[in-house]
Structure 1
Amino acid sequence: MKRNVIALALCTVLAISVVGCSSNNTENKNIASDNSKIAIEDTDILSGTWSEDYSRDEVKSLFDKALASVESTAKGYSLEYEVTENEIKEENGESTNDTYVYLDIPEAERLESMYFGFKQYGSDLASGKLEMKMGYNLDRKTILEGQKFEFENLSLAAFSQAFTGNYERDYTELDKQIYDIIKNGTGDEIQTIENNLDGLKETITITDDFLFYKLESRVYNFK
């Protein structure tokens, strides 16, 4: 149940209804309906390059560069993906223009789904943000037997790096934090790790067999 709640965050918060995630039972649909009522919240403005005041054109340029890297990474893993441009829909009573790349792989012990997009809010597109979300199925038994977790060896890290452009990150502390959660967690609780990646907010949410990864910019005001 905990895993389904996290997985549904990937489906519902992103407002991707036509390309569904693998969870599709009735209970999940009810949760999705509830989650869709959550209001859009501004991401904390953290210190770093990504938190500077950028114009729409500057953010679009950053997105286009990162999108090319994300697509290249997906091709490198031989993953099929979809690119959607300027999808207009209403989200919590506000018009949203979303351009994004999305992939969905409902298989165990690997990246389950990934979204990376540039969302612009309002009929006048007065604000917007960059956001990446990924779901990953954890093999808890193998991780505990190996007595370590190596985030840098997963496709999660490759896609994250494609967004940030930082390929020199030291994952030592993150690996330890994730392994300690997997080792000491009861499986009934959801635990979260947060980091500041040069102004991007990284949030890693873990339950017994599922890891939900989110990397997002602040909401940029274009007026």
Structure 2
Amino acid sequence: MPALRAGRAFDGERSLAGPVTVLVAHGGIEAVERGHPDVPGAGVVDLGQDTVLPGLIDTRVHLGADSGNGALDRLPTFTAEHLDAVIEDGLDRHLRAGVTTVRDLGDRDFSVLEQRSRHRQRVLASGPPITCPRGHCWSMGGEEALRRAVRERADRRADVGGGPRARAAGDRPRAQPRRRATGGGRARGRDRALHVPHRRGRASC
């Protein structure tokens, strides 16, 4: 169990005057103690007078883009090796800024989704954005039939769904769609086809 000794701490709501010791276990904060108590078996990391705080969360990123002008337009031209390097660089810059969880809402060819376990911080990934032909972010490889796209992302255990027409789970639609006098059965059939059992998901646009 690491024990981080620091001059002060910020817990997300208030500043804690130091000195403080933050105990970390199983990838999370176990406790925040005043002073520098002796913790049997703990590995002490002395941060001097620095301030420690919980890891930050970036809720919307495209790790495959290099953050330069026209990044998404250049993405289809990247080789697999260059794309991996861009993803690693983006995650490294996030980590140095204190971001320990990122939510990637669109990669190319599942490049982020398939590599979640190799990264140091937590990565929630959606795979390529689900879009219509030549739609938003089409060049990332998400031009697919909707039913097949949803099924594939469920099979790959995607953490979040991304697409131009998706909306966050729990959000209320602005208007209820009109129902045709005929075709109601067809609509219900479509709903059943898009339902993936035993998978709770989130969506974003």
Is TM more than 0.5 here?
A: no
Q: Determine which structure has greater relative contact order: mean sequence separation of CA pairs < 8 Å that are 6+ residues apart, divided by chain length.
A: 1
Larger Rg: 2
The TM-score with structure 2 as length reference comes to 0.22
The TM-score with structure 1 as length reference comes to 0.21
